[in-house]
Chain A
Amino acid sequence: MTVGNKILETNSVTMRFGGLTALDGVNYSIQEGEVRGIIGPNGAGKTTLFNVITGELKPTSGKIFLRGTDITSLPPHAICQEGLSRTFQLTFIFPEMTVYESIWVGVNSRARRPWNPFILAHQAADLSQRTQEICHLVGLEEKMNELASNLSYGDQKILEIAMALSTQPSILLLDEPTQGVSPQETDNITEVVEKLSSKMTIILIEHSMDVVLRLCSSIAVLNEGRVVAEGSPKEISKNEEVQRVYLGEMS
């Protein structure tokens, strides 16, 4: 996929919770096909930005455009139907459903009549094929029949990604996919995201610089609800302000 038009754009989005300003006039845009990292210290507003984009929160002011259409006031399910999908920082799955079924439900949401009561769910051949494809893509095919709650935390993180993929998104928002998992699992997850990066636009919130540098073609730095820097990984690591707010904090 070639890098092209602006696919997602936020127009001075501000989000206030009472006296706290979580996002302060964020102007941000991402090109089609890009893999964009968002970094920043804790409380910088990264997840809030995701929540606002996906419709979970309505911004206090500002607008969000997906391929030029205003999605600011749409509910989460409608935004998902527009081809924007997300994962959650803390795993947010269907605990008593299997891996296969969790993904199946997402695949089904794009069916012509997802609620069809006149067929049996397992008879929809196109859906089961698509579900299996996704299982293979993320490497969960061995665990298709396991309950989601029985998976290891790393596999649950992969399931999160698989569920987000199941709705056939053209833009994928990943919220700290490698947070709290072992180095081995981090490698797995990074590999999965790398595979996806050739197929869709990805925005990635991540704390691990290794992962960000490996995956992302460009990085935005968020601090106190503002985008303080944007650019290629090289430019970002040289940027003085970034070193002050983010890298400096770690040393």
Chain B
Amino acid sequence: MGASDFASLPHIGEAYKRKEDYRFVTGSGQYTADVVLERQAHAVFVRSPHAHARINSVDVAAARAMPGVIGVFSGKDIEGKMGGLPCGWLINNPDGTPMKEPPHPILAISKARYVGDHVAMVVAETLEQARDAAEAVQVDYEVLPALVSVADAAKKQGTITLHDEAPDNQCYKWALGDKAAVDAAFAGAAHVTRLDLVNNRLVPNAIEPRVAVASYSRATEDYVLYVANQNPHVERLLMTAFVLGLPEHKVRVIAPDVGGGFGSKIFLYAEDVALTWASKQLNRNIKWVADRSEAFLSDAHGRDHVSHAEMAMDKDGKFLALRVHTDANLGAYLSTFSTAVPTILYATLLAGQYTTPQIYVEVDAWFTNTAPVDAYRGAGRPEATYLLERLVTRCAWDMKLGQDEIRKRNFITQFPYQTPVALQYDTGDFHAVMDKARALAEVDSFAARKAESEKNGKLRGIGYSSYIEACGLAPSNIAGALGARAGLFECGEIRVHPTGSVTVFTGSHSHGQGHETTFAQVVAARLGIPVENVDVVHGDTGRVPFGMGTYGSRSISVGGAAIMKALDKIETKAKKIAAHLMEASDADVDFANGEFSVKGTDKKIPFGQVALTAYVPHNYPLDKLEPGLNETAFYDPTNFTFPGGTYICEVEVDTATGEVKVDRFTAVDDFGTLINPMIVEGQVQGGIVQGIGQALLENCVYDNESGQLLTGSFMDYAMPRARDFPQFKLDTVCTPCTHNPLGTKGCGEAGAIGSPPAVINAVLDALAPLGVRDIDMPVTPNRVWDALHGAGKA
């Protein structure tokens, strides 16, 4: 079935209320922390209080003697018994040599490399006993100088070494694009606009902290790991094949209801491995629940780039070439997909929505004494968008053009479009999106609002951001050529029951995205049955055949496409059964609205009758067809999908306090086909708030000397709250994706990608009359005050 036929089916585009909500609003959700197993012991991790320290010894004798203690393990106890955490993406240096990949031990062996690094694990009968015993673990640390800020990494080469494998702390030096062509374009440019940017470090902070419960059965030699995770099959694959050397069929990973992920629950973490391993050693079920302090210290963080960008233009503001250098902080160790974030998921997006013919990007990636940095909502694409959209607005101001005008002069209008940074956009209509956004934002009356603000002693500014992202990760062959060490397909199984109801098994994972509803709508639409007759199962390697999970806004475009392929198989087989029942040839049978009919006749039978016949095959072509109606499909995309949009933000700045208020926020996105617009809108709203959070509130700060985390709780790290926002104005434009059967592009990350530069451009537009040309995120009242009083004026 083609994407346009699909989009016209009933239930597609319907704001169906979520099937999962009853259990959540009644407190009946089952999150990992709610799992209680028989003979369940509790684990606590001893974490390094130092950012960089040699571990001379770990004395666990006193801890082992404490009441209720079942086991205490240090790095020496596990050394040689398991591998370290693997990195899933290989990046090569321009000379072809591979990135530096130092070991990432499950418990630190010779050195601790960030505050919160896992040094020992204590297992006891009760949580309190485990906590008490953890305090009795004596670690002899020899504190070393710490490298903290990525801005210092190049300067401090030769003075501090985190890993012997990377003596200068550089993981890789990577480049993309034609440097000579870019240099030539710059040499002939009428104008060059330059900008230095910091993309602030963020803590993901899903409200459910990380948590795991591991069990082992001596009777069957099976492990079960319950874990708050976005991709249980990937977790299992990484843990069994690369760390513990276990056969996959003996390990079941269950990620039940998961309380938000935002990327931070993609990765295989040391705690998950340690618990699983210890469950066999101690023959006990073991639970570990991170407290919020541990989440701040040890969840993989996001962003943390320092960049310099330059745009060469002709006299009319047409982009000729873009040159970028970025220093990226990877933290102390390589987390699962960390190496791909500042490269494949970043530099390839720097064409944005524009026809810039030449682009050259260099990325230096560094180890520092901070928590590992990995994918966080958007993962590389927010960093690219922030850089490009800040730069484009600066170009507009330098060329005395409107923010909209410079974008329109450079928009791509012909598709497919091959960018100079590897990607090929299949479709889009950037002018239509811009026009719709400007109308919805009431840009024409901005001047009147600005005058009104000024009457009240406040400054008002307007900021634009036109983003594009690559989603639907990813064609496995392309990803493989770019260094991925895994496939990026998805799997779906459709189990039609004898009475015609359906259970869907998907390798995608919902941790808030509402797949139980959206995927049910897809299946109900195709089979012509009520949405409530379809249930969706996810998050359990024991029930779902396989899966690569949910990240990169891939669930509907890849997971949904796998379901569509399985439905194709169901339809093909069901037509054969129907043909037999109606005594027609297979080719003459049509299927629509839940009914099979014979072309040119009034013969028809409902889907339910075919389902029953498949399982009660009394009158059935058993010589040609197996009984049953259960199909599985794997789908590997042929290209990325390319959601795009234009966001327009209006802020009001109180110059007396430095406070920035987001007064209006308009977002028009092109996600292709929408299955459930209510859910899509919710995804955009949440993403925008995370993006505005980055722009105005959130900042992960380490002390630059000691490497202590200064923003280690919700008291210190400013989370967005309800009072920080107005209601947003949202709308969509639809150019369907051309290469998947649904026409969908994905919507999970857009808001977080598109919004930060819109906010900062608006702030700078407001402050421009006072001579402020630059400001870094987060734009706190303090930073605005400093900018207004000289410190930030450029």
Partners in one complex: no
